[in-house]
Amino acid sequence: MKLKGKVAIVTGAGRNIGEAVSHTLAREGAAIAVVDLEKDRAESVAAAINKAGGKAKAFVTNVADEAQVQALIKGTVDAFGRLDIVVNNVAISDNKTIFEITKEEWDRVMSVTLSSPFLMGKYAAQQMVAQGGGGNILNVASTSGWRGRHRAIAYTSAKGGVINLTRSMAVQLAPHKIRVNSISPNKIGSPVGKADFDPTRPVVNLAGRSGVPEDMAKAVLFLVSDDSDFVWGENLFLDGGCMAMEIT
């Protein structure tokens, strides 16, 4: 087991990528704080992990809310005794153009997609520094943070922010032995904000197939475990090779 004795928070863990990441980290021995806005989703994932012999607790938290983030960190430490790993997986998308989106919609996407990893990073790092021994933070970005898109003006901007937030967090937290990295997925299972896999979703990549949440979970395990202990402030594309391709 690669994460025996570790304690991890996974946000947006109630379905899709966050759910698969939670199961994988739990199978490797980590106790998991399963965080979601939706109570039923968080509770069912935590129950499934516990049933499979792992250790998990559900937390209903809005990770864009500073006081709720502080309560989540405290609740995790109260439940499991410490905090070693945070996977900042929550995001929402706008799917709008610059002409369609309102200021309120822009602010909401920024708050959930960009401010939440900042808030989680700040308060998790405070806990990791206080307990000593370092830690690991993994931010889920997106290929949408690297390219312009016809829609999703706020989401693409927020994800671009997540990529450089990761680098600055990595620089500022390295003296405390807290390793920070990001992943940039592309077209994994169902679209962000949707529950169901869409087989008609067009996929253009080298792998010739859509990604599935387990593709993300394997890579997240690598990045939050000591297998990647020389990887600092890095972004890993999990996109089936689409960013490597010529655009025709």
Ligand X SMILES: NC(=O)c1ccc[n+]([C@@H]2O[C@H](COP(=O)([O-])OP(=O)(O)OC[C@H]3O[C@@H](n4cnc5c(N)ncnc54)[C@H](O)[C@@H]3O)[C@@H](O)[C@H]2O)c1
Residues carrying an active site annotation: 155
For ligand X, which stretch binds (CB under 6 A), given 31-39, 163-171, 219-227, 229-237? 31-39
In the structure encoding, which two tokens stand for residue 147, read together? Answer: 């390219």
Q: Is the dihedral of CA 216, 217, 221, 227 positive or negative?
A: negative
Among 63, 152, 169, 178, binds ligand X (CB under 6 A): 63
7 versus 64: smaller Cβ distance to ligand X: 64
Which residues contact residue 102 at a Cβ distance below 8 angstroms, ignoring those fewer than 6 apart?
none
> CA nearest 192: which of 157, 155, 241?
155
DSSP element (H, E) containing 72: helix 66-80
Q: Which residues pair with 34 in a beta bridge?
A: 10, 58
Q: x/- string (CB under 6 A) for ligand X, residues 200-229?
A: ------------------------------
For ligand X, which stretch binds (CB under 6 A), given 16-24, 71-79, 97-105, 122-130? 16-24
Among 89, 115, 127, 205, binds ligand X (CB under 6 A): 89
131 versus 190: smaller Cβ distance to ligand X: 190
Establish if 117 lies at the interface with ligand X (CB under 6 A). no
Taking the chain, what is the end-to-end CA distance rounded to the nearest angstrom? 44
Q: Is the dihedral of CA 215, 220, 222, 225 positive or negative?
A: negative
Q: x/- string (CB under 6 A) for ligand X, residues 129-158?
A: -----------x-x----------------
Among 3, 34, 36, 180, binds ligand X (CB under 6 A): 36
Q: How many other CB atoms sit within 10 Å of the CB of residue 206?
A: 11
Positions in the binding site for ligand X (CB under 6 A) = 11-12, 14-18, 35-38, 41, 61-64, 89-92, 112, 140, 142, 185-193
